[in-house]
Structure 1
Amino acid sequence: MDNATVYTDVLIVGGGPSGLSFAIRLADSLKEKGLKRRILLIDKGNSIGSHIISGAVIRPDVFGELLPDVPIDQIPFDSKVSSDTMYMLSEKGNLKVPFHPPYMGNKGNYTASLGEVCRFLAKKAEEKGVEIYPGFAMSDILYDERGKVIGAKTIDTGVDHHGNKLENFQEGTRVEAKLTVFAEGTRGSLAKKLIEKFDLQKGKNPQIYSLGCKEVWSVPEGNIAPGEVYHTMGFPAANFGVFGGGFIYGLKDNKVALGLVVGLDYADPTFDTHDAFQIWKTHPFVAKFLKGGRMLEYGAKTLPEGGYYSLPKLYVDNALLIGDSAGFLAMPALKGIHLGIRSGMLAAQAALTAFQRNDFSENTLKTYEQSVKQSSIHTELHRTRNFRQGFMKGMIPGVFHFGTQLVTGGAGFFGRLKTHPDSEATKTLAQAKKPLFKEKYKDLEFDKVLTFDKATNVYYTGVAHDDHQVPHLQINDPATYNAVNIQEYGAPCQYYCSAEVYEVHTDKEGNQELRIHFENCLHCKTCDIKEPAGGITWNVPNGGNGPDYKYM
């Protein structure tokens, strides 16, 4: 990959489960039809899997369809789910929920490291002739003179903090393709541009998100068995009217994956998901699983929760949206891996038709969206189409709405429920309900045994960024930001960011400004989602930059 133009038949942006499943299915389909086409997949992580993080409990059936010749025991799942229990937590106590909430059972599923699964899928894709290039960040979509997508371009390198070209400047590579597939994951930066340019969200609910913080621990034998699955509701998120809950998954080799996931539609500008996660770990029910153990890894990511009514149009001329970039995640199960894989397979079906017709127009690619509507993706999303919106005004209204949806096949008593962008939910310091999160936990301390501050957690992500580049986090209007986002909202970014990227600096005269430590960024995109008035934009940094997850 140099600064010359690269030509390919298919360009896939993103090496997660949806992009890899698209590549595998298309390669197999082309071979069956005797067609030879170049499939090129590019991922911004320094290796496949290095930016992949998920809970994860995976539904395995779709792998049998994707890789029919691969026995299930060859797929690197961790452990088959052996028990599955939900608990309601108060500040000190817990109550076992005597039944599984609808759609949340995990019988027959597997705990896994999604990064390991993606590395396995990448190997299978390469065996089928797919070219995979990690370590390259695609920063711009390419259009022809008619405004149609013709590929994407990698980021220019050798540029300093101020945008000045250095001696080692290299213009990004243009990758032109007949078909470009956007599989960047949640809030993909190119997918976001594509959706805005072609108004693909028109008539749909705005997408809403959650943020999850996760750790992997090594614990003494006997703390938890492989395949044990626990989910929690209530404390501490419910104390602040925040939608969310925790998970604890037993892994092999005496490891445990655990995390807290909260909806980003909360009002308190000082709510801190990372700190809430650490507080959650101190609960006696959670702490017992970690006693005597040590943390191995930490990470954070956002998830699209809007569901059926927030799905954008999935195609334009010469381009498709798949996986989390399209919002394929089922609530309340909070599962999207199997949906992402299936979306990749269905998109590959449409791509094959396009190659057979030599026609990559909307008229051909619309068969992808049509096949989604006829698939199990539609079934899963449609039956819970109002679930997440029902909780936007609190837990009690949410439970009521969910109850009505269960007896009406997902419709509820009020028809389609609306959403608003998560950034609009944040209230100013004056408006927010008291006590604020930062007031209630102003004396919060981290013992660095069970609980950890953000800086310590970041050390366990393997994150690294080139020092000499334009910061990939952009304050869109510094003057307005200082006057409104800092003075009125108290700079929410310093709280919602789970990697201590944002710091408010106060000088001797009392003037405040935001300092950005972009080198800590975990690429979760929360700032791009949650900042009031869209005050911050997340852009891709240099290729290979970011976290380096191993078993997340």
Structure 2
Amino acid sequence: MEFDVVIVGAGPAGLSAAIRLMQQANDASQELTVCVVEKGSEVGAHILSGAVIEPSALNELIPDWKAQGAPLLTEVTEDQIVMLKDAENSQTFPNAIVPKTMHNEGNYIVSLGNVCRWLAQQAENLGVEVFPGFAASELIIEDGIVRGIITGDMGVAADGSEKHDFMPGMELRAKYTLFSEGSRGHLGKQLISQFKLDEGKDAQHYGIGIKELWDIDPAKHQAGLVVHGSGWPLSENGASGGFFLYHAENNQVVVGLITDLNYSNPHLSPFDEFQRMKHHPVLKQYLEGGKRVSYGARAITKGGYNCLPKMTFPGGLLIGCDAGTLNFSKIKGTHTAMKSGMVAAETIFSAIQGGDEGGKELTAFTAAWESTWAFKELYGSRNFGPAMHKFGPMLGGAFNFVDQNLFSIPVTLHDTEEDYAQLKPAASVSPIQYPKPDGVLSFDKLTSVFLSNTNHAEDQPCHLKLKDDSIPLQVNLPKWAEPAQRFCPAGVYEVVKDDVTGADRFQINSQNCVHCKTCDIKDPSQNITWVTPEGAGGPNYPNM
């Protein structure tokens, strides 16, 4: 199938690009064919974010979004910034000393999945073809030019044979292809490597965000309240990150923990850190008496300006979190992702309108992108992450307060070590004993995965590829106590005893995978590669 533009991923960046392309085409009365492929069973099924959304890009894209029924229903009414000192004590900071990037006046608490469902409807109304349930599994590269993608085969058995319902993948060819797969995109990772897009940049940095949706006691609900914080329990183990708790509509709150993936103790489990954090009085006061209704996890690309790769290559563009446009100083990336997609759309449409038959490197994008408020925002926040990593939450926070609130400090801090390379040998650090979940505020991994509605077609090839099958037991287990057992938030990786021999065996429960990509990022041997499973597999997040 041939299109003018193929877009990989129906997230905020990809859908904004699709809408902007068709807006221009319709305004110019020019025929344009645009296709969006989405690996989730429906648009929004794989979308996971906090989320507090800044509507700046949406205001530009669809100025009458309120009248059009966009699901931005709960405006932020109050900000709280809290430091958890230990399991019982905390300190709330006055807003006057909080970096202004963390203030949320005029922003909205949303389900980003529902926002994307609404954006997809707007795109389809304009003539975009949206194909959910189709995973873009391979690049089409000819003579050094990206010519489109190939969707994954359907109906392939675990041994590689064709089942009765086999359907081969399709070639989707385009003049230009936009990649908006989200953090650590499977194809984006290949593009960055093949075209050396990260040459001269700092190593990219990531976090793992784990989130739950709760129904709470209406008497405890404060619609519009936004609570952010850091400290315990991560600080107890020398790790960094932060939590969020947002009061959405309908007596619901979303609660989550972002763990920076540069942590050094291989015994650390981001999932278990989150579960015990919910017992802190700051969070417990809202959750107690409530009911957990959904669970999910997703990696976050948070390196920002210093790590932002070149976003152009012959035949296409890398946009949104696939490139890393999130502004971590705001803990927000939707508005910048959308803006990157809009600029990409304007660049592509201008080229096609001028008679471009595709395949070129759209270098005009770079200048257009660098002139936007989004790029300038990323540049202004370039020191936020490195300051927190180098100086810790207190001194780093003070640095960022000066840099963001008082005057721009004329230096650029760098953080060049890869996250996966930070793990220390297991024998050199203390093991961590996590409390048993109580089933009221804290839960186990398998119970949690059940709430994510995760499912993959039975009897299909494992989508978690090991470069060397021997490494988990011969290298990772003796050196790092095989940390995949703990950094995965879905219980995918286990070291178990073989029923016959009694020897250790590395087991991959790929059916549990919530597509967070943490294993692809944090494995210390870089032995795990996440590839797309059969389309429509994975989580099915409602209201996340």
Candidates 386, 390, 394, aligned match of 1:389: 386
Q: Are the aligned partners of 1:213 and 1:261 in contact in 2 as well (CA < 8 Å)?
A: yes
Q: How far has the Cα of 1:359 moved from its partner?
A: 2.7
Match of 2:483 in 1: 492
| Structure 2 Cα separation of the partners of residues 389 and 18 of structure 1 | 26
Secondary structure of 1:529's partner?
A: helix
Instruction: Give runs of aligned pairs for residues 199-214 of structure 1, distance below 5 A.
Output: 199-214=196-211
Q: How far has the Cα of 1:410 moved from its partner?
A: 4.8
Unaligned runs of 5+ in 2: none
Q: How far has the Cα of 1:70 moved from its partner?
A: 3.2
| Structure 2 Cα separation of the partners of residues 399 and 512 of structure 1 | 45
CA offsets 1:168-222 (integer angstroms, 9 cap, x no match): 3332111111110001111110111111111111111121100111000011112
Q: How much is the aligned-residue C-alpha RMSD, in angstroms?
A: 1.7
| Structure 2 Cα separation of the partners of residues 549 and 122 of structure 1 | 16
CA offsets 1:251-289 (integer angstroms, 9 cap, x no match): 111111110111000001121111111111001111110
| Structure 1 Cα separation of the partners of residues 409 and 161 of structure 2 | 54
CA offsets 1:85-128 (integer angstroms, 9 cap, x no match): 11111220111111223310001111000011011111110000
| Residue type at the aligned position of 2:104 | N
Q: How far has the Cα of 1:161 moved from its partner?
A: 1.4
What TM-score does the superposition give when structure 1 sets the normalisation length? 0.94
Match of 1:3 in 2: none
| Structure 2 Cα separation of the partners of residues 397 and 143 of structure 1 | 47
Match of 1:320 in 2: 317
Instruction: Give runs of aligned pairs for residues 429-440 of structure 1, distance below 5 A.
Output: 429-431=426-428, 433-434=429-430, 436-437=431-432, 440=433
When residues 360 and 531 of structure 1 are mapped into structure 2, their CA distance, relative to the original with a 3 A threshold, is farther
When residues 96 and 73 of structure 1 are mapped into structure 2, their CA distance, relative to the original with a 3 A threshold, is farther
Secondary structure of 2:378's partner?
A: helix
Instruction: Give runs of aligned pairs for residues 81-480 of structure 1, distance below 5 A.
Output: 81-90=76-85, 91-99=87-95, 100-144=98-142, 146-359=143-356, 365-393=362-390, 395=392, 398-399=396-397, 401-402=399-400, 405-406=403-404, 409-412=408-411, 415-431=412-428, 433-434=429-430, 436-437=431-432, 440-441=433-434, 444-480=435-471
Match of 1:38 in 2: 33
Q: Are the aligned partners of 1:136 and 1:154 in contact in 2 as well (CA < 8 Å)?
A: yes
Q: Are the aligned partners of 2:175 and 2:359 in contact in 1 as well (CA < 8 Å)?
A: no
Q: Are the aligned partners of 1:259 and 1:277 in contact in 2 as well (CA < 8 Å)?
A: yes
Percent identity of paired positions between Structure 1 and Structure 2: 38
Q: Are the aligned partners of 1:329 and 1:339 in contact in 2 as well (CA < 8 Å)?
A: yes
When residues 69 and 252 of structure 1 are mapped into structure 2, their CA distance, relative to the original with a 3 A threshold, is closer
Q: Are the aligned partners of 1:354 and 1:364 in contact in 2 as well (CA < 8 Å)?
A: no
Unaligned runs of 5+ in 1: 1-5
Q: Are the aligned partners of 2:4 and 2:32 in contact in 1 as well (CA < 8 Å)?
A: yes
CA offsets 1:513-537 (integer angstroms, 9 cap, x no match): 2101111101010000000121111
Secondary structure of 1:391's partner?
A: helix
When residues 521 and 394 of structure 1 are mapped into structure 2, their CA distance, relative to the original with a 3 A threshold, is farther
Match of 1:62 in 2: 57
| Residue type at the aligned position of 1:93 | N
| Structure 2 Cα separation of the partners of residues 80 and 492 of structure 1 | 40
Q: Are the aligned partners of 1:385 and 1:410 in contact in 2 as well (CA < 8 Å)?
A: no
Secondary structure of 1:230's partner?
A: strand
| Structure 2 Cα separation of the partners of residues 411 and 529 of structure 1 | 32
| Structure 1 Cα separation of the partners of residues 359 and 372 of structure 2 | 20
Q: How far has the Cα of 1:167 moved from its partner?
A: 3.8
| Residue type at the aligned position of 1:516 | I
Q: Are the aligned partners of 1:183 and 1:322 in contact in 2 as well (CA < 8 Å)?
A: yes
| Residue type at the aligned position of 1:50 | A
Q: How far has the Cα of 1:160 moved from its partner?
A: 1.7
| Residue type at the aligned position of 1:133 | F
Secondary structure of 1:222's partner?
A: helix
When residues 147 and 388 of structure 1 are mapped into structure 2, their CA distance, relative to the original with a 3 A threshold, is same
CA offsets 1:277-325 (integer angstroms, 9 cap, x no match): 1111001111110121101100001111110011111111110111100
| Residue type at the aligned position of 2:518 | T
Larger mean Cα displacement after TM superposition, 300-309 or 86-95:
86-95
| Structure 1 Cα separation of the partners of residues 186 and 257 of structure 2 | 25
When residues 327 and 45 of structure 1 are mapped into structure 2, their CA distance, relative to the original with a 3 A threshold, is same
Q: Are the aligned partners of 2:313 and 2:361 in contact in 1 as well (CA < 8 Å)?
A: no
Match of 1:50 in 2: 45
What TM-score does the superposition give when structure 2 sets the normalisation length? 0.95
Larger mean Cα displacement after TM superposition, 402-411 or 58-67:
402-411
Match of 1:25 in 2: 20
| Residue type at the aligned position of 2:124 | E
1:519 aligns to 2:515 (yes or no): no
Q: How far has the Cα of 1:243 moved from its partner?
A: 1.4
| Structure 2 Cα separation of the partners of residues 142 and 285 of structure 1 | 51
| Structure 1 Cα separation of the partners of residues 66 and 397 of structure 2 | 41
How many residue pairs match? The answer is 538
Secondary structure of 1:534's partner?
A: coil
| Residue type at the aligned position of 1:421 | E
| Structure 2 Cα separation of the partners of residues 480 and 116 of structure 1 | 41
